[in-house]
A and B are shown apart, each in its own frame.
Chain A
Amino acid sequence: MKRGFLTMVLHAHLPYVRHERIRNALEERWFYEAMSETYLPLLAMWERLQRQGTPFSYALVLSPTLLSLLADAEMAARYAEHLQKTIRLTEKELVRTVHEPQVQELARMYRATYVDLSDRFERYGRNLIPQFVRLAVSGHLELLTCAATHGFLPVISREELRQGQIRLAVETHQRLTGLQPQGIWLPECGYFPGIEEVLEQEGLRYFLVDSHAFAASSASEQQGESGHDLHAPLRVGASQVVALARDPQAAQQVWSSFVGYPGDGAYREYYRDIGFDLDWGYIREFVHPEGIRVNTGIKYHRVTGAGPHKALYQPDLAQKKVREHAAHFVAARLDALERESGKSRAPLITAPFDAELFGHWWFEGPQWLEQVALQVQDTALKLTTPSRYLQAYPETDAAAEMSMSSWGRGGYADVWVNETNDWIYPHLHRLEEKLIRLLHRKSRDGLEERTERALRQMAREVLLAQASDWAFIMAMNTTVQYATERVETHVQQAMALAEAIERGEIPASFVQALEAQAPLFPELNVEAFLGRDMTAVRQKSSLRVLMLCWEFPPRTVGGLARHVYDLSRALAQEGIEVHVVTCHGADTPETEEIEGVTVHRVYLPDYEDGPFTEWAALLNIRLAAMGARVLSGYGPFDLIHAHDWLVAESARHLSEVGDCPLVTTIHATEYGRHHGLHNDLQRQIAEMEKQLAAESEEVIVCSQYMRAELRDIYGVDAEKLHVLPNGVDLTELRKGTEEQAYDHAHALSDVNTPHFSAPTIFYVGRLVPEKGVQVLLEAASHVFAEIPHARFQIAGKGPMLAELQDLAARLGITDRVDFLGFVTDEQRNRLMRQASVAVFPSLYEPFGIVALEAMGLGIPTVAGRTGGLAEIIEHGDDGWLVEPGNARDLAATLLALLRNPQQTAAVAKRGLLKTETQFGWATIARDTCRVYRQAISQHAMLAERDREPTPSDLRPVST
């Protein structure tokens, strides 16, 4: 009866060390050594177990770079040649050691081993992959994948690149093994939050982490100090993907250099190799042709002890130790199982190791694995694969959030980011960003074959530079020069390709040469790097516009956010490519795609002590920095569109940098907001508004009122002023409110009968003086005199809140006025829909979008006769206008319409019709495009005028 399971996961990986130009590259020997000492011996061992009929299951990770090397016929030929050379050396050793029988016996062992390796390699058709697949199909092996080039995911700066590492890995695994992997070894067990979503999309069910990842997960908060059970899978995030934790005891028994099995005195010593021990004249033809001593694989000593003296290797003694250590390992796992008896689910002990530990570092490792399989078979423990276990025990506890972790020193990123290797990242991150932007361009424009090919090679170079091996080598201070050269070379080559792509001049020979240097991922699908929602080729845009605004949903301060949101989407619908550079809201990503609009975000600086304009300058630096990246990454752009003075400086800077015309929408002026300019700050802001308008090719305003203000007070040239009203997206507005259709006529008919629901007067907007909420409160006191059970609802936030609450208290109406605070758009729509009347008693209102939205919902709407509101509403026909600041007039209007329900409902209906027919965003977007084209022509004309005359201009015209 099996009471628990053991899964041993062997991670086989080598960086891509094939070198086209350098014959006998030292690093190719890593591949030869791993082939001779690990991969072929493991296959031989598994075949033995299979022949004997021993039940066994192991999991083997084949990293995509290793798979690519294994599948490479040229590498196979070079390895076959290397094997022959090693066999010749073993033969020469038989002669040299003729007077040392014990050593000669070892030489004979090596000769037999290498002859067997060579025979086996040839028998496999020089390709190990089909052998691994055969064992996988028979159920003895489960093959896992790894990231494409073994990039350590937590230090990759772009989500798309992390995604690309995973997608390309799965594609490569499928292409070279014909199997869909179920599990993945995240390089260095490096988990990065959110990666589980990508794994799930790629059909992967599990990954491995080190044990402390479970302790630091949210599961530990729920399950106490000890955290989630290490012997049970942990479902991660919102996905169905599970993490399996490394069992620390199992790991230590094998890994530890102090107490681990491989350090036993009986085992073969790794560091005593005849490549270093024997005379140069004797060994030179078998080491590196350039005269460098290297490991030959022939080692005659055993570990013996910690000191320099090493005794000769005794295979029998080592085999005895192998059996003992396997027995110890199995017994320790059974003890662990015993301690966990009574659990509802059978425990899974996960023991992951680097595959190259077995055979290469620990010569007897493959035999030890064989012994574990033999000795475990008659116990309560069963060797299994992760997939088989998860199939048998699919239920896992509630999902948990995990934070970044790895299995490296310290458990996080310390090995891959420290003083020896941190120089990599500033270069690599910029390159990652450049690659993604070029890929977006490709997705947008489509590319001719040569450019696409260059882009594919650039992606290969970036991926190769990302390999965690280079940073690891630098941290371990081993072959640092090689690792440094690899990173530098890949970064330089990728940069050169990017420049060539951007210039549109791609030398075919250059790309071909780079392809030949690294012939991996031949069918590299660059779409794999883009999110699934980004891979659809966009309709080619007629214009490309960069919009700047300081608020954009979900960050909503005033009406501007909604305006830019609706306008940008409507422009995208018209085939315009729109990029919005704005500020972060709560938990917003830096870049996202919203209904065809690409939104890029920066952090809003805190407002601290100091001039307000200085704060605005800091905001503009951030917007300009991001905008410049967008211009270079997604450009060329046709136009910059600024919304209000707060983005003036970044707009000006980007217009210069990108040589683009500038269009500005002035939503409101400082003069209008304050009914004049009363202090230095207001004058300074007004000056910036004036300058922005002056520097813009065209200026858009939302009402005739605003046009007059800019023309008469700011002195803006009337010809560049365009009146385009704000629009209303009725579909968006009505979302979530359809089920609450409200009969206003019926509701209003009940105002004089207090037992029915109370009439509700609703306001939404910022609580600032010019919105006139103070007037509304005064009017409310008059309304209550006639209709005592009415309610006033005030939604929104702002600096006047406390002042308004004081006023309500002084008027004695606190119990009938609700200050609702900030409401979401959806809440606002619902409240508005339920209201009897919507009131916007503004003293100054450039447009008054919210009044239009109330009308769009069919709500009777009352507004101050000011600015744009006076242009939107026709008094008594589709709404009501009241004198700004006149509380008695407002109260009288409210009472009149509450008392005449049928007439009021008819007016509201006409208001709805007006909104539907005159304020649709599609019309406004088309009109905006016309302004854009005018700006572009104007800019071109000015550029032509400013151009220095050339000799051809001065040539006389022939007649």
Chain B
Amino acid sequence: MPPSQSALPERYRDDRLHAMAIDPQRIFIYWDEGAAVSAIVARHLAAGWEQAPRGLRVRLAEGDVRLLPCEAASGSVYVGGLQAGAPCRVEYGVEWQGRFLPLYETRVQLPGVRSKRPASVELSERISSYTLYTRS
């Protein structure tokens, strides 16, 4: 909790998401939306996206995904119950038309005996140099 009447800036608006490990099961996350989001998202989503709910998606390896609501475009939160030694992906995004659009992403390694499982399986095979190929 920040000191009251702090002379430090309330927000930086610098498109930032950061996660820190606190212990083998918990992380601390803070975020702040900025100009990159407002400039680029505005061109892709219909009006009203600014009011769309924000959220955090915390992913531990495959199959263990949590979506947590965020109250504002800037803030911080603790997330617990994670897996010791695992790499953890954290995404901050906007919920839009029933989908979660991950605006920022960061990763953090939880302390503990290291898990060998990767944080994600990248899907780049489906993306072939700047266009999406699908079998027609």
Q: Which residues of A contact B (CB under 8 A)?
A: 154-155, 157, 193, 216-218, 220-221, 401, 403-405, 410-414, 417-420, 422-423, 425-427, 429-430, 484, 488, 491-492, 550, 557-558, 560, 602-610, 612-615, 617-618, 620-622, 624-625, 628-629, 644-646, 649-650, 653, 656-657, 668, 670, 673-674, 681-682, 685, 766, 768-769, 797-800, 803
Contacts and interface: CB of A to CB of B under 8 A. Distances in A.
The 5 closest A-B pairs by CB, nearest first: A625-B15, A423-B2, A624-B36, A412-B23, A558-B129
Contacts of B9: 427
A645 B130 contact: yes
A621 B124 contact: no
27 contacts: A193-B109, A403-B110, A403-B111, A405-B111, A411-B23, A417-B20, A420-B1, A422-B1, A422-B28, A423-B6, A427-B8, A484-B3, A557-B128, A605-B102, A607-B132, A608-B99, A614-B101, A621-B41, A629-B14, A649-B43, A650-B36, A653-B39, A656-B39, A670-B130, A681-B131, A681-B132, A768-B129
Contacts of B102: 605-606, 618
A553 B16 CA distance: 25
Contacts of B106: 603
B34 A628 contact: yes
B8 to A, nearest CB: 5
B95 interface: no
B112 interface: yes
Contact of B104 (A221, A404, A625, A682): A625
Contact of A426 (B30, B35, B103): B30
A612 B130 CA distance: 10
Interface in B65-118: 76, 84-85, 89, 91, 99, 101-107, 109-114
Q: Which secondary structure characterizes the binding site on chain B?
A: mixed
Contacts of A492: 7-8
A121 to B, nearest CB: 38
Nearest to B89: A603
Nearest to B105: A603
B103 A604 contact: no
A575 to B, nearest CB: 30
A422 B35 contact: no
A414 B22 contact: yes
Given A413-B20, A417-B28, A618 B103 contact: yes
A617 B135 contact: no
A423 B3 contact: yes
Most buried by B among A217, A221, A414, A621: A621
A622 B124 CA distance: 17
A218 B112 CA distance: 9
B37 interface: yes
Nearest to A402: B111
A560 B130 CA distance: 10
B65 to A, nearest CB: 11
Interface string B25-58: 0101010101111011101100000000000000
A417 B134 CA distance: 47
A473 B52 CA distance: 39
A491 B2 CA distance: 14
A624 B32 CA distance: 14
Contacts of A418: 22
Q: Which of B39, B89, B91, B123 has the most CB of A within 10 A?
A: B39
A606 B7 CA distance: 39
A217 B111 CA distance: 10
B127 A607 contact: yes
Contact of A403 (B109, B122, B123): B109
Given A216-B111, A423-B2, 19 more contacts: A216-B112, A414-B26, A422-B28, A422-B30, A422-B76, A426-B12, A426-B76, A603-B106, A606-B123, A607-B123, A617-B41, A618-B101, A618-B102, A621-B15, A621-B37, A622-B105, A624-B15, A628-B15, A668-B130
Contact of B34 (A625, A656, A799): A625
B103 A221 contact: no
A606 B14 contact: no
B61 interface: no
A13 B7 CA distance: 29
A557 B124 contact: yes
B54 to A, nearest CB: 14
A604 B124 contact: yes
Contact of A797 (B15, B85, B125): B125
Contact of A653 (B40, B103, B126, B135): B40
Nearest to B77: A422
Contacts of B41: 617, 621
B3 A488 contact: yes
Contacts of B7: 488, 492
Contacts of B84: 216
Contacts of B135: 799, 803
A430 B9 CA distance: 11
A609 B132 CA distance: 12
A319 B14 CA distance: 61
A768 B28 CA distance: 43
A397 to B, nearest CB: 17
A615 B100 CA distance: 11
Contact of A621 (B103, B114, B126, B131): B103
Contact of A605 (B12, B105, B109): B105
Contacts of A625: 14-16, 34, 36-37, 104
B99 A410 contact: no
B114 A401 contact: yes
Contact of B126 (A401, A614, A670, A799): A799
Contact of A607 (B23, B30, B126): B126
Contact of B18 (A419, A429, A685): A429
Nearest to A550: B130
A549 to B, nearest CB: 11
B115 to A, nearest CB: 11
Nearest to B25: A412
Contacts of B130: 550, 644-646, 668, 670, 685
B40 A766 contact: no
Contact of B43 (A404, A617, A645): A617
Instruction: Point out which of A606, A613, A768 has the most chain B C-beta atoms below 10 A from its C-beta.
Output: A606
Contacts of B24: 216, 412
Given A622-B104, A624-B15, A670 B8 contact: no
A650 B39 CA distance: 9
Contact of A221 (B1, B30, B99, B113): B113
Given A404-B111, A423-B2, A609-B99, A560 B129 contact: yes
Contacts of B123: 606-607
B40 A620 contact: yes
B122 A604 contact: yes
A685 B130 CA distance: 9
Which residue of B7, B34, B126, B133 has the most chain A CB atoms within 10 A of its CB atom? B133
A430 B44 contact: no
A845 to B, nearest CB: 12
A621 B15 CA distance: 9
B129 A657 contact: no
A606 B107 CA distance: 14
Contact of B44 (A614, A624, A645): A614
Contacts of B112: 216, 403
A649 B20 contact: no
Nearest to A408: B23
B75 to A, nearest CB: 10
Contacts of A670: 130-131
Contacts of B39: 624, 649, 653, 656
B35 A798 contact: no
A502 to B, nearest CB: 15
B78 to A, nearest CB: 8
Nearest to A797: B125
Nearest to A771: B128
Contacts of B111: 216, 403-405, 412
B20 to A, nearest CB: 6
A803 B133 CA distance: 13
A430 to B, nearest CB: 6
